[in-house]
Structure 1
Amino acid sequence: MRVVMVLPTYNEAANLEWIVGRLRRAHPEVDVLVVDDGSPDGTGDLADALAAADPAVHVVHRTVKAGLGAAYLHGFAWALGRGYDVVGEMDADGSHQPEQLHRLLDALPEADLVIGSRWVPGGSVVNWPLAREALSRGGNLYVRALLGVRVRDATAGFRLFHRATLERLDLSQVRSSGYVFQADLVTRTLRAGMRVREVPIEFVERVRGESKMSGAVATESLRRITVWGLRERREQLARRWDAVRPGARAPVPGADLD
């Protein structure tokens, strides 16, 4: 089983060598793909040096900073094109601990998508202020309520996808580019009838470099989720009306996954 972890980067020169080294030591059988969005701090050059020294490390250079989702989609396409069986997501800032990747790998036989979750029993966060924790918990509650997904940490970025899962999702139709990308793919996976499993992890707040999360980013994510949720509710009501009105055809099983 060939596994590759995709690490999107933008100005992560202070963390990249450290986190890639930890990942390679913890799981020498796992490859690494760095997707750099033209970092001005030299992250891309550092990634090239790591790849030159280790054949299991690969690099994709993008010329523009187009968002987290766009970087992951580029990385997924690269990995699928090179025959990987499992494609993972992981932050480059150290918040996702490579030493805990085995928890996700162990759950793969029972799921199509495995999520390293902060908000299931046994999961935790380190060095987060109460306001940040409340925002994350509240945001995930909002996702569950509005999109109807039974996932505790739909915004988590520590994940493993089977190759077949990504192929069934038709990634060419994914338009979300920011942090809302994570909730988008969870929702698509569940609506396609596939299995999502969450395993507990300890999430550690970065100690070097600047976080890419901001109030504006969080607001935009919630706005997009609200639009999706209201559209889904409208479509559900339309389907129910079509099912009960005189002369309506019987509902097609699975049609609510479209």
Structure 2
Amino acid sequence: MSTPAALPPSWATSRLSVVIPTYNEAQNLPFLLDQLLALELPNLRVVVVDDGSPDGTGELAQKFADDHGGAGTSPVTVVHRRTKDGLGRAYVAGMSQALTDGAEFVAQMDADLSHPPRYLPQLLGTLLATGAGVVIGSRYVPGASLSGDWGPGRRLLSGWANAYVRTILELPIRDVTAGYKLWRRDALEAVDLETMASSGYSFQVEAHYRAYRRGQKLVEIPIHFEDRQQGHSKMDLGVQLESALRPFQLRRDIHRRRRAS
């Protein structure tokens, strides 16, 4: 297992917020929070966005925040949402909160431990070294790897989905559905979060597409993608249908704006 990259002090002390949407992740979240706060990033903050998890994830996250200083001093903020209306809306709420709190950089990652926190310093270092607007922890660039628990069918489906979206939207990145990434503040503001149409996992595709269309530099670094060990995937049929249709809708909207201009 690789160790986190060592960053110069001026980089390591950046105001970095990590946004983590949760729904029934009580078995995973404490381990993830412990790993994040153990990183040598003294100004790291975490925004947990819980959609009213019936397994008590929100209450567990709040207790963690309270035990680590409470309101105003804790490195963890919990956004409690009453409505479960999709991953995309949860990300909008959490990222907006991070910007309001003054973050210079905003990271996205899943709560199920599939995105190893040890890559966060490398994401930050790459962003600062390259001047990118977004750095993506990619499963599909040289040097990346997938969990051995991923069977051939799942690998084929994921690879096909990425090729499908790349072809339709002509995006110059390999992992267009990636959920592990780091944004520079101005790049995130440029995508206009409040007007994002995607409610589910297609939020990732729409965010990449908007960033690219609005002139942001996107860079990928290889990661090892772990598989969920506890809990259940939230990828139901409705989410899959939205993910399949959204690329066509995004491309249609661009063509409409071109004809109107």
Would you say same fold, with TM above 0.5?
Answer: yes
- Write out per-residue CA displacement over residues 128-153 of structure 1, whole angstroms, 9 at most, x where no aligned residue: 11111111111111111101111100
Give the alignment partner of residue 60 of structure 2, picking from 29, 40, 46.
46
Partner Cα separation in structure 2 for residue 23 and residue 172 of structure 1: 27
- Write out per-residue CA displacement over residues 78-126 of structure 1, whole angstroms, 9 at most, x where no aligned residue: 1111111001101011000011222211111221001100001011110
- What is the match of residue 58 of structure 1? 77
Query: Larger Cα Rg: Structure 1 or Structure 2?
Result: 1
Other structure's SS at 2:158 match:
helix
Other structure's SS at 2:243 match:
helix
The yes-or-no answer on 1:17 pairing with 2:38 is no
Other structure's SS at 2:235 match:
coil
Give the alignment partner of residue 143 of structure 1, picking from 161, 165, 171.
165
Give the alignment partner of residue 115 of structure 1, picking from 136, 153, 161.
136
Partner Cα separation in structure 2 for residue 161 and residue 231 of structure 1: 24
The yes-or-no answer on 1:74 pairing with 2:74 is no
- Write out per-residue CA displacement over residues 42-71 of structure 1, whole angstroms, 9 at most, x where no aligned residue: 001100111012211111100011111100
After TM superposition, the structure 1 stretch with the greater mean CA deviation from structure 2, 5-14 or 129-138, is: 129-138
Partner Cα separation in structure 1 for residue 224 and residue 21 of structure 2: 20
Change (3 A) 1:164 1:234: closer
After TM superposition, the structure 1 stretch with the greater mean CA deviation from structure 2, 217-226 or 4-13, is: 217-226
- What is the match of residue 202 of structure 2? 180
Give the alignment partner of residue 242 of structure 2, picking from 204, 213, 220.
220
Partner Cα separation in structure 2 for residue 233 and residue 134 of structure 1: 31
Question: Is the Cα–Cα contact under 8 Å of residues 21 and 90 in structure 2 kept in the other structure?
Answer: yes
Partner Cα separation in structure 2 for residue 128 and residue 219 of structure 1: 22
Instruction: Give matches, 1:93-242, under 5 Å.
Output: 93-109=112-128, 110=130, 111-126=132-147, 127-232=149-254
Question: Is the Cα–Cα contact under 8 Å of residues 206 and 250 in structure 2 kept in the other structure?
Answer: no
Partner Cα separation in structure 2 for residue 108 and residue 231 of structure 1: 30
Other structure's SS at 2:38 match:
helix
Question: Is the Cα–Cα contact under 8 Å of residues 146 and 230 in structure 1 kept in the other structure?
Answer: no
Partner Cα separation in structure 2 for residue 135 and residue 217 of structure 1: 15
Partner Cα separation in structure 1 for residue 208 and residue 165 of structure 2: 11
Deviation at 1:72?
A: 0.5
Partner Cα separation in structure 2 for residue 229 and residue 138 of structure 1: 19
Point out where structure 1 has 5 or more consecutive residues left out of the alignment.
Answer: 240-254
- Write out per-residue CA displacement over residues 7-64 of structure 1, whole angstroms, 9 at most, x where no aligned residue: 0000001111011111111345221110000001000110011101221111110001
- How many percent identity over aligned positions? 44
Other structure's SS at 1:26 match:
coil
Change (3 A) 1:69 1:6: same
The normalised TM-score by structure 2 is: 0.87
The normalised TM-score by structure 1 is: 0.88
